[in-house]
Structure 1
Amino acid sequence: MKTMRSSKTRTNVFVVCCVSFLVIYCVNQYTKIKELKRNLVKTLENDEKIEETSYFMKENMSSYEVFQSYDAEEFPTVLNGPTRIPHIIHQICHSEDIYEIFQDPISSFVENNPTWEYRFWTYESGRKFLNRHYPYLISIYDAFGGNDVRKSDLLRFAVIHHYGGLYADLDVKNWRSLDIATIKYACIVPTEPFEHSAFIYKTEFILTTAVLLCRPKHPFFKQALINLQLANKDGHPVYVTGPLYFTDIYKNYNSISEDDYGRRKLDNSSNSPYFYKGTLPEDHNDAVYVPNSQYFMGDIDVNLFDSTSPQQSFKICNEPNEFALSGKDLELTYRACHEFEKRKQLRKERKFTFTSHYWYHMWTFPEAKLFNLKRIHIKTFIPSCVLYK
């Protein structure tokens, strides 16, 4: 009798422990997913914050030029023109098992572009690809180590250079067909929102690496790859392979110097941003077209609303005189606040938007924080995806 009672007690304890573990697991899973989705939710909630920061801008900043046109316009294209950028979608993850939170944005590209080829890359398959086509980059690729995001940066430049097509981060959602974006221009590289470049980087523009479209073998991406041979394996991703590195390559490629700050573009055939982009016509086969941000990169990182540093957030738009700003920094701040005000309607309506970036910043999360997130194999929901072997 005692043995039966003892056995039953152990069973009850085991059941309680299992249930407790499942409860804790579910709570952790929910908490992590909720934290990751906060950017998407806050993007929809930012309208109130936009209104809160508007008064000072309306009264004081209208005399400062915005960075680009804020009129809603369809993306420039050529009616019945030939395709210049191949219809291939490239996405990258450290393995074929992706976090379930990315399933919706990934699926959006396939659903809106059913005739496009979808290629999925991992760090392992990417290394095989590099070893075959770009062996001079294997050394630095390996030096980055583990699941380092700098591998993803290097790999995206390589696959776009080799195959052409579109690359998008996993936290980028596609809203409509990309077909018309592949006709007029040979290479398309968006900027981050100009509020980012002004508030965070204190410069006129910063190119993004989250969305890229280009023809194969473009000399701009060749230059980006060649220079990576000298990358600092211990450096910060933003500077070594990310937006700041990419922007420097763009400036060198187009012979843009510090003296060109504030200089206007030479080609006014489209609604591209106003800054100087070099001498090549926008539709030249070797040019890099920088589109108006309403198309690919119009969404602001919500951290700019919550930043603890007022000089890197929209708090500075309310009372800029409280901060020690002068010269170029002051002008950039006023222009960015004016830009923010003028683009509110565009950002709400997304009338001609191709993609939205949710700014999850997954690469900044420690692996322990991501360990329990549910994963799903890419073939489960994109069975037609091409995996490099």
Structure 2
Amino acid sequence: MRFKPRRTLGVATLTFVVTYFLISVSKQHKQAQYTEPEVYMDVQDSPAPTFDDENGTSAMEIIFQPMADVDFPSVGDGTPLIPHVFHQTHYTLYLKKTYLDVIKSLMKYNPSWEYFFWTDEGGRKLIASKYAQLLKLYDNFKNPVERSDLIRYIVLYEFGGVYLDTDIEVFRPLDRATTSFSCIIPTEPYEHSVLFYEKPYIINNAIMLCRAGHPFLKQVLDNILFSSDGKLVLDRTGPVFLTRQYNVYVNRVTKSKMKTKTKHENTSLLEPYAVRGNFHIGDIDGVYVPNTMYFNNKADRPFLYCNNADNLSTKNKTLICRDVLRQGETYKPFQYQFTVHHWFHSYYFLTHSEFKDKFSKDFDRFAYNYLFGTHIREIIPKALVFDV
């Protein structure tokens, strides 16, 4: 029988590709397993307060914020203060099928809004043309999450709008939120603040709503150059960094403005306890930190943390884990909830690629794009794409 080298080579190649793919998926699954976050004690503020548990009150109400039982605060005359444009980032134009329905929800409930999609290369072009002082920092980032963090701060400052991670689902129109305040940045879920960070609050960066040119975002961009010495991405460009910036901004700007006013009005009594009084109606340069129930009330697998009794080192942690374990893994959206974070952890796929050789990286990119990826315009046909 005649030897057929091409067919043999093809079978060998296919076998190798399938084997590599299965190994890669297995590695990604192991990488995505829960690991206990480090405790960040470098944010300069006091520990989370401790209250007595009375009458079966939920841990959230005791420690962090009241229960929100009304719709999101509505002030102003209905004119949008935040542009009706969504921003999302991803390292390529292709996304896993896991994300399709989640991303489609943005336009499902906000069909008249614009949608901007930024790849790493598209973000780099914007930085090179308008923020050249940050280009070296961007190019030197080793972790893809850092690039995504910088892009999201820049596009919000440049264009304004609503930034959402690609694993955040929208439940209803966002117009009400955009007509009330000029900048809205929720905290992380209260479970994260107490269990993982041991802080009164941590400002999130997975969903942010802000007008263009807001001075808080300018401060963030001015100071991100000097945050590269943190241990982890969360410290350098993520929520811990953003919390530091918020604390500085509130103390330096917002409160000093209030001293010059003879009369001002707080928004409501629904905000997290630790940030009450930091925002006042009519301050277009203020940053409103809302009750987490409206935007960010689903924690990232806290039951895994709470199942380890060694983690319950304080009364506040014990109170929260009491509620977490009672509720289990079930999740019920709040009546007036705008969004939910599903915590898909897509960054695991890329974060660990820095430890792979060039062939592995190239194969991962090929597999992500063409084997199980969907182009963003198949998901959002009207997407305005910023790529190479």
> Partners of 1:174 and 1:114 in 2: how far apart?
12
Residue 288 of structure 1 corresponds to 287
What's the CA shift for 1:59?
Answer: 8.6
Find the partner of 1:358 among 342, 365, 370.
Answer: 342
Task: Find the aligned partners of 2:238 and 2:385 in 1 and give their Cα distance.
Answer: 25
Aligned 1:196-215 pairs, distance under 5 A: 196-215=192-211
Superposition deviation, residue 95 in structure 1 = 1.8
CA shift, 1:163, in A, is 0.8
Taking only aligned residues, the RMSD between alpha carbons, in angstroms, comes to 3.7
Amino acid at match of 2:209: L
Percent same amino acid at aligned positions? 32
- Match for 1:77: what amino acid? S
| Matched position secondary structure for 1:106 | helix
User: Which letter does structure 2 place at the counterpart of 1:286?
Assistant: D
Residues 223 and 336 of structure 1: CA distance in aligned 2, closer, same or farther (over 3 Å): farther
Q: Is the CA contact (8 Å cut-off) linking 2:68 and 2:293 kept in structure 1? A: no
The equivalent of 1:75 in structure 2 is 72
Q: Matched residue of 2:197: which SS?
A: coil
Deviation at 1:376, TM superposition (A): 1.9
Which stretch has the larger CA shift, 112-121 or 58-67? 58-67
- Of 145, 150, 153 in structure 2, the residue corresponding to residue 154 of structure 1 is 150
Moved over 3 A (4+): 10-39, 57-64, 276-280, 322-325, 334-344, 367-373
Task: Label 1:127 to 1:20 Cα distance change in 2 as closer, same or farther (>3 A).
Answer: closer
2:185 paired residue number: 189
1:188 Cα shift? 0.5
1:178 to 166, 171, 174: 174
Partner of 1:42: none
Partner of 2:375: 377
Q: Which residue of 1 aligns with 2:233?
A: 237
Report what 2:87 is aligned to: 90
Matched residues in 1 for 2:28 and 2:237: separation?
28
Structure 1 residue 267: Cα displacement: 3.2
**CA deviation vs aligned residue, 1:137-158 (integer Å, no higher than 9, x gap):** 112111114x621011011011
Alignment of 1:1-389 (within 5 A): 2-3=1-2, 65-78=62-75, 81-145=78-142, 148-232=144-228, 235-255=231-251, 267=266, 269-277=268-276, 279-302=278-301, 304-306=302-304, 313-315=305-307, 325=313, 330-334=314-318, 336-337=320-321, 347-365=331-349, 366-367=352-353, 372-373=367-368, 374-388=372-386
Q: Provide the rounded CA distance (Å) in 2 between the counterparts of 1:67 and 1:222.
A: 29
Task: Give the aligned residue type for 2:219.
Answer: Q
How many residue pairs get matched?
A: 342
Residue 272 of structure 2 aligns with an amino acid whose one-letter code is P
> Aligned AA for 1:353?
Q
Structure 1 residue 231 displacement after superposition? 2.8
- Give the C-alpha shift of residue 233 in structure 1: 6.4
Bigger shift: residues 349-358 or 60-69 = 60-69
Deviation string 1:44-72 (CA, Å, 9 cap, x unpaired) is xxxxxxxxxxxxx8998769823112243
| CA distance in structure 2 between the aligned counterparts of 1:32 and 1:178, rounded to whole angstroms | 38
Given that 2:194 and 2:316 are in contact with CA atoms closer than 8 Å, whether structure 1 keeps it comes out as: yes
Deviation at 1:190, TM superposition (A): 0.6
Gapped runs of 5+ residues in structure 2? 35-52, 253-264, 354-359
CA-to-aligned-CA distance 1:6-53 (integer Å, 9 cap, x gap): 66xx899789768867876886798799899999xxxxxxxxxxxxxx
Change (3 A) 1:356 1:341: same
Amino acid at match of 2:332: K
Does the CA-based 8 Å contact 2:306-2:325 persist in structure 1? Answer: no
Counterparts of 1:37 and 1:382, CA distance in 2: 28
Partner letter of residue 134 of structure 1? Y
Instruction: Give TM-score, length-normalised by structure 1.
Output: 0.75
Kept after mapping to 2: 8 A contact 1:144/1:233: no
